[in-house]
């Protein structure tokens, strides 16, 4: 339907919809262990049926304006994604998230894709607070939050079990005025 360029390397951001289930499952299979180190996405996309169901949940969230899911393509291959796990326009809040295959880590793809999402949320939809929840062990994701200009709000100690171990969850966020100020400093503001 559409693709948004993420830079000169040919990376693109596109919607992830149920009809892409086979492609999404193949992508997940390539990065299952790496992606699953800190997030449960690989566990809920273990076969074609569960993958299609996961994508359908996000299609329904998008229709209800309560979440969104986008893939990151590089050289024609799905290699990662970004999402609004939660999206509440009336309250002016949302939660962003991400994942990436190990073969493309370190190229800034997630940061660039998240900038597109946050810019849209703040400037088009009037979102005031964009939140980022991350395991305290997930240094790569914490670094993305920092690059996005987010502030660490705090830590929910041992907030949930994952793979038999209680995890600390860091909460990061950026507020609309902070986002706009950061975009203006970077010369990308409106």
Confidence of residue 189 (pLDDT cuts 50, 70, 90): low
Domain map (residue ranges) of the chain: 4-186
Mean pLDDT on 164-173:
95
Average predicted confidence (pLDDT) for the chain:
94
Return the CATH class of domain 4-186: alpha beta
Mean pLDDT on 13-34:
96
163: alpha, beta or left? (left if phi > 0; alpha if psi -120 to 50): left
Q: Which residue has the higher pLDDT, 161 or 171?
A: 171
- For the stretch 128-163, pLDDT in tens is 999 999 999 999 999 999 999 999 999 999 998 999
- What pLDDT is attached to residue 1? 61
Confidence of residue 124 (pLDDT cuts 50, 70, 90): very high
């Amino acid at each position: 339907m559409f693709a948004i360029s993420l830079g000169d390397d040919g990376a693109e951001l596109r919607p992830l919809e149920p009809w892409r289930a086979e492609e999404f499952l193949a992508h997940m299979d390539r990065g299952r262990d790496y992606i699953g180190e800190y997030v449960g996405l690989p566990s809920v996309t273990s076969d074609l049926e569960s993958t299609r169901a996961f994508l359908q949940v996000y299609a329904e969230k998008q229709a209800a304006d309560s979440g969104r899911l986008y893939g990151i393509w590089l050289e024609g291959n799905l290699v990662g994604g970004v999402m609004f796990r939660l999206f509440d326009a009336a309250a002016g809040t949302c939660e962003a998230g991400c994942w990436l295959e190990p073969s493309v880590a370190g190229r800034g793809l997630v940061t660039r894709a998240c900038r597109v999402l946050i810019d849209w949320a703040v400037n088009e939809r009037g979102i005031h607070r964009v939140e980022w929840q991350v395991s305290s062990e997930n240094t790569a994701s914490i670094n993305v939050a920092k690059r996005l200009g987010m502030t660490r709000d705090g830590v929910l100690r041992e907030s949930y079990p994952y793979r038999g171990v209680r995890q600390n969850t860091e909460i990061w966020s950026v507020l609309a005025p902070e986002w706009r100020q950061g975009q203006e400093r970077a010369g990308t503001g409106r």
